[in-house]
């Protein structure tokens, strides 16, 4: 079976694997991006305090709070994942969390104060925690991440067996 035949035969599986892979990429990107906002003058002007030299800066306590707020939310998300997956199933739970994350993301863009932004980071961290634990539970083997599982899932159905084994062991 060629790759194109596999794509035509299993479009839902490929779409699902791509969706979950985007969750993992988004989670990693958001965590890395949060700390970089403090260097941007518009962010400092909106959420910071005026310094004696006339510049703006976000206070250190809020920088630490914003950075650690998402981490605290992740702990909550990690704890919620087991209950949610057991009760609703993996697919329904992840789709619900994706919808939740879409709603929470609006807080990042509409926050008028640093306190509201902090709430958004904590609530967003819950979804990040779900995505972190979800990619570990798909395959049952804690050494493999979701991307390896996705490659194996797609490639084992669309490529000859020698290629699917190569992609399986790449994780």
Q: List Cβ neighbours of 41 (8 Å cut-off, separation of 6 or more).
A: 56
The answer to whether 58 and 47 are in contact (CB under 8 A) is yes
In the three-class reduction of DSSP (H, G, I as helix; E, B as strand; rest coil), residue 138 is classed as: coil
Burial category of 71 from C-beta neighbours within 10 Å (exposed 0-12, middle 13-18, buried 19 and up): middle
Whole-structure pTM value: 0.66
Ranges of each domain in the chain: 3-35+60-168
Look at residue 50 and give its three-state secondary structure: strand
pLDDT < 50: residue spans in the chain: 136-171
What pLDDT was estimated at residue 30?
A: 67
């Amino acid at each position: 079976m060629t790759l194109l035949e596999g794509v035509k035969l299993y479009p839902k599986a490929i779409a699902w694997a791509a969706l979950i892979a985007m969750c993992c990429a988004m989670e990693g990107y958001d965590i890395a991006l949060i700390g970089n906002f403090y260097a941007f003058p518009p962010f400092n002007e909106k959420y910071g305090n005026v310094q004696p030299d006339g510049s703006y800066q976000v206070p250190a306590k809020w920088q630490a709070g914003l950075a650690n707020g998402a981490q605290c939310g992740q702990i909550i998300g990690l704890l919620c994942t087991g209950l949610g997956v057991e009760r609703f199933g993996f697919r329904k739970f992840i789709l619900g969390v994706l919808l939740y994350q879409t709603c929470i993301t609006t807080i990042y863009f509409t926050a008028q104060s640093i306190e509201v932004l902090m709430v958004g980071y904590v609530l967003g961290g819950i979804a990040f925690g779900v995505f972190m634990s979800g990619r570990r539970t798909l395959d049952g083997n804690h050494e493999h991440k979701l991307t390896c599982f996705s490659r194996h899932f797609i490639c084992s159905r669309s490529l000859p067996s020698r290629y699917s084994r190569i992609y399986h062991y790449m994780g």
